[in-house]
Amino acid sequence: MNAEIVAIGSELLTPFRQDTNSLFLTDRLNELGVEVRFKTVVGDSRGDLVSVARVAVARADIVIFMGGLGPTEDDLTRECVAEALGIELHRDPEIITELYKRFAERRMKMPDNNSRQADVLDGAVLLRNPNGTAPAQWLQTNWDGDRRYVLLLPGPPHELKPLFDAQCFPRLKEVLPPQFIAKRTLKVAMGESACDARIAPIYTKVPDVQTTILAHGGEVQVHLQSRADTQEKAEHRVEELADKLEEELDDCVISSSGESIEQIVGYFLQMRGATLAVAESCTGGMMAERVTSVPGSSRYFLGGAVVYSNELKTKLAGVPAKLIAEHGAVSREVALALAEGIRERTKATFGVGITGIAGPTGGTPEKPVGLVYIAISDGNEHEVVERRLPGDRERIRLWASFTGLDLVRRKLI
């Protein structure tokens, strides 16, 4: 079974409001083995909403409309869904009575337009909304001979979420055939196109597992999802493909069950009984923040220094002033000196040094914005990598901190 979620409201088409309900609903529907194939956002336009409703009901087994159930003239969901389905609305007297009672309890007179909230699709079951005045509606209908489930839900999250869990989820579970979805996420230290070039010949031969590749913050996430009539069958399909992809990507795989690189670095440091310290310039403590975002990181992270100025590079990390004068603060030599200096001063197993130009100013033709040097040292061996990172200041800092973490990971595997 497939689903479409339709978020209704002109405010969702502005930069100021965002649909978050669909994330909640997708998670719940996946628990039932239902795959959300489409998500649509439509404004408060009668013509647009009727058109969207017709398309949604034609292509999805389950269609969930969110919002537009209020009392105002731009709350058009009930009327537009009825028009799209070719059915009538009727006004429910019990809902009218409940609305009058609700307003009376607050010593308020109910405006006439609130009566619109009692308009019900013919054949629909009303679902009481304990947290608001707009009841939800559940309709089983047919479209071109196929069964459809149409749900009208209130838009406010504090109304939608408890109502769906208490009244919609059990109904769907009762009427839907048993289906199960298995998911797996591989996180990979590699460029998106390079990753896809290596694994596409593998995953394209497995059509019953949906593969999605996303780039984020220096890493690539490979999302695998399969649906089957048993959980075991779905899990087997996903695990079989994941194993093949891991074999192909080898040590570029950061994690195979969705763990973050910060968590993986922490696992390895603890397994090896090793410790870490960092000296950061352009990242401004971002790598230290990422390491310490993991609970229990005090067991392996000794500390760090943010050394923006040349003076503090010398004072806190022991970088010789002569070295900075000779090579510049943004250089391979200074990055290594930062790593070795912070390691020696903290007595850590590993030291990491990061220096670069995050921008948007400060770049030169020889040393442009995005040039970053990241170094790691354990006292015996060291490695320095040069990166020319694209993007704005925040993206450059994020990617540089990721590269520092990945250097540590690779040293430990």
Amino acid identity, position 121: L
Which tokens in the block code for residue 406?
């990945």
Fold of 183-255: Alpha-Beta Plaits (3.30.70)
In the chain, the N- to C-terminal Cα span, in Å, equals: 42
CATH top-level class for 261-412? Answer: alpha beta
Domain residue ranges in the chain: 2-175, 183-255, 261-412
What is this structure's pTM?
0.82
CA pair distance 411, 377, nearest whole angstrom:
10
- The residues near 393 (Cβ < 8 Å, ≥ 6 apart) are 358, 359, 360
Q: What helix, strand, coil percent values describe the chain, rounded to 5? A: 45, 25, 30
Alpha helices in 176-309 (DSSP H): 192-203, 231-249, 261-272, 286-292
Q: What is the 3-state secondary structure (H, E, C) of 261-292?
A: HHHHHHHHHHHHCCCEEEEECCCCCHHHHHHH
CATH top-level class for 2-175? Answer: alpha beta
Full pLDDT tens readout for the chain, 413 residues: 999 999 999 999 999 999 999 999 999 999 999 999 999 999 999 999 999 999 999 999 999 999 999 888 889 999 999 999 999 999 888 888 887 887 888 788 888 778 888 899 999 999 999 998 889 999 999 999 999 999 999 999 999 999 999 999 999 999 999 899 999 999 999 999 999 999 999 999 999 999 999 998 889 999 999 999 999 999 999 999 999 999 999 999 999 999 999 999 999 999 999 999 999 999 999 999 999 999 999 999 999 999 999 999 999 999 999 999 999 999 999 999 999 999 999 999 999 999 999 999 999 999 999 999 999 999 999 999 999 999 999 999 999 999 999 999 999 99
